[in-house]
Amino acid sequence: MSKYAFVSGGSRGIGRAVCLELARMGYSVLINYVSNDAAAAETLRLVEEAGGSGELMKFDVADQQASLQAITKWQEEHPDAYVEVLVNNAGVRKDNLLLWMEQEDWYDVIGTDLNSFYNITKPFLQPMVVHKKGRIINITSLSGLKGLPGQTNYSAAKGGLIAATKALAQEVAPRKVTVNAVAPGFISTDMVEGLDEAELKSQIPAKRFGKPEEVAALVGFLASDSSSYITGQVISVNGGLY
């Protein structure tokens, strides 16, 4: 029987790298995305090219009803299966100083980066608890650990995700479900577009941006049986930048 993994925001960047990593581990990957059909199709093609299997699930993780509807439909169509690995990766940035931040930029970032954790995790959690096996991996950020100026909304969302990780980990540990967070620093994806790369590299001890595959490798480990005694942790992938 197939093993299933779900990756939100799986069409590009870190999400795409995670989909490929999990496919190589033998998971059939549910690739969630919100709008970019071409990028999502390319991720699915790469998954299949790597010898894996997957399917596209297009919906907005910030929309609770749309999320529940899509996940329930998948569960009804796969009554003998369940999602064993959940990667909450979807995220957006809308940077500005709080002094000038528009209300919608606050709520949009909180919706996609934090509320989505509830929208996606809740419907997938019960089957994990019933089967006494599950891995929940939340992609947070350096911004959620230290707070970054111009990212009050993003830091709030990612900091909240870290706290949620630690709380849920304690709730479900007796049922053999682990919950961990991965906190990337500056990774070469479209999420860092518009940032001063040369200036930032000078602040990073490793003197470079990370690669999506380097984040995905850690996600793969946390999804594996080898990580079964690790839960409630936040692990940074940041080249030494704290």
Known catalytic residues are 154
Q: Are 204 and 239 in contact (CB under 8 A)?
A: yes
Which CA distances in Å does 106 have to 93, 112, 182, 240?
10, 10, 23, 29
Query: Helix/strand/coil (H, E, C) string of 166-228?
Result: HHHHHHHHHHCEEEEEEEECCECCHHHCCCCHHHHHHHCCCCCCECHHHHHHHHHHHHCHHHC
Question: Do the Cβ atoms of 27 and 52 come closer than 8 Å?
Answer: yes
Name the nearest CA neighbour of 94 among 193, 160, 185.
Answer: 193
N-term to C-term CA, the chain: 43
Helical residues (DSSP H) of the chain, grouped into ranges: 13-24, 37-49, 64-77, 103-110, 116-131, 142-146, 152-172, 197-203, 212-223
Give the three-state DSSP class for 139.
Answer: strand
User: CA 21, CA 15: separation in Å to the nearest integer?
Assistant: 10
